Amino acid sequence: MLTTFMKWIAIAAVLGSLVLPIFLGLRPPELFGLLRFLVAAGAAVVVFQAAAMGEYRWMFAFGAVACLFNPVVPIGFSTTVAMVLNTLTLLLFGLSLRLLKTPPRLTIASITDGAPGSESL
């Protein structure tokens, strides 16, 4: 649930970084720092999810996204490269929502369950 929530937040952040410069003409550096942080955090969460599932291709792809959107040491891109990178990142997060799903956890059996065939201690 947390992973899905973080993926949606990262998708919203990438969409914000695509929409703000195109339609509104805004380029505030503080806002883009926040958007970079949200995308990097979402990518880091997906890296841990992929590692737990043994999906190393996804882990590598989102590790690269986390490095490219690093808010601590930002990498400057030209406008065209940034738009292409944001679009690819958006597609990657969208695909991860569809294809990278954590299997549900099994419930723990209760010791007070009156299941037939159980013996008392």
| Contact assessment for residue 47 and residue 63, using Cβ atoms and an 8 Å cutoff | yes
Share of the chain above pLDDT 90, in %: 19
The dihedral region occupied by 107, where left means phi > 0, alpha psi between -120 and 50, and beta the remainder, is beta
**Rounded to an integer, what distance in angstroms lies between the CA atom of residue 65 and that of residue 118?**
51
Higher pLDDT, 55 or 24: 55
Among the listed ranges 11-15, 41-45, 49-53, 99-103, which one has the minimum average pLDDT value?
Answer: 99-103
* pTM of the predicted structure, to 2 decimals: 0.73
